[in-house]
Amino acid sequence: MNSVSKNKNEKSKASAEAGKEKPISECRRCGTCCKKGGPSFHHADKALIEKGVIHSKYLYTIRKGEMAYDNVRQCLELVSSDVIKLKGKGDGWTCILFDEKQNACTIYENRPIECRALKCWDTKALEELYAKRRLKREDLVADIEGLWGIIKDHQARCNYETIQKLVNAINSDRGGEARQKLAEIIQFDIEIRKLVVSRGELDMEMLDFLFGRPLKQTLKNFGLKM
């Protein structure tokens, strides 16, 4: 083989090797996982919220019975109990605590346990942790006099089991009655949020944590157009 052919072969081999992506075995701090949504919270994260490392205005609650997207199973499922999550930025999924300019987590040293467990190249640890010992609103606000009672009343009157039955009944011969009852539930959801802001002087940004996302927003997952 002459030197010209040999050099060509070596260059071709080098180009082929360069084109192969090396398997990921450690975090590259690329930020991709942070842009796909914030974590859910577990009992191990309770102190982060109680000490103010993560403010409750950055949280939202997926309530029991709500239809929600399961990131691990990658489908819509009924939630069996409270799931408390970090909000996204605006209407997007990017975690609210992610600094896009620096491409970094703003609380990296104090990040929640799901963030610590997540390895994009091996999700086994996250899958094992995912549904275990999740935090509920009761764990965080049950001791606040008056507030927990209001939250329990809202949960009872705006529970998704009742809502699902009403949605199913809308296309039946009881459709008019079901629509009326559903409208009353939606109105109660709206009014209770206004009440705790005006009388309780709570930050509006905390409402999605205290009462879950507004029904006008979540009912679309039940196939209902508002």
The number of angstroms, rounded, from the C-alpha of 174 to the middle of its chain's C-alpha atoms is: 35
Question: What's the CA dihedral at 169, 175, 178, 179 to 10 degrees?
Answer: 130
Mean pLDDT of the chain: 86
Q: CA-CA distance, 174 to 144, in Å (whole number)?
A: 41
Amino acid 79: pLDDT:
87
Tell whether 11 is covered by a domain: no
Q: Verify that 35 and 128 share a domain, yes or no.
A: yes
Q: Verify that 118 and 148 share a domain, yes or no.
A: no
Q: What is the model's pTM? A: 0.83
Q: Which domain holds residue 213?
A: 142-226
**For residue range 33-49, what is the model confidence (pLDDT) as tens digits?**
899 889 999 999 999 99
Can you tell me which residue has the tokens 């260059």?
Answer: 11
The alpha-carbon radius of gyration of the chain (Å, integer) is 24
Q: Mean of the pLDDT values across residues 122-133?
A: 85
Residue at which a domain ends, from 137, 172, 193: 137
Q: Verify that 146 and 133 share a domain, yes or no.
A: no
Q: Verify that 41 and 131 share a domain, yes or no.
A: yes
Q: Are 154 and 192 in contact (CB under 8 A)?
A: yes
Residue at which a domain ends, from 114, 137, 160: 137
Residue at which a domain ends, from 116, 137, 158: 137
Q: Are 88 and 94 in contact (CB under 8 A)?
A: yes
**For residue range 69-124, what is the model confidence (pLDDT) as tens digits?**
776 667 778 888 999 999 999 888 899 999 999 999 999 999 999 999 988 888 88
Q: Give the number of domains in the chain.
A: 2
Q: Is 148 exposed, middle or buried (0-12, 13-18, 19+ CB in 10 A)?
A: middle
Q: Verify that 178 and 226 share a domain, yes or no.
A: yes
Tell whether 102 is covered by a domain: yes
Flag whether pLDDT at 7 surpasses 60: no
Q: Verify that 158 and 212 share a domain, yes or no.
A: yes
Which region holds residue 133: left if phi is over 0, alpha if psi is between -120 and 50, else beta?
left
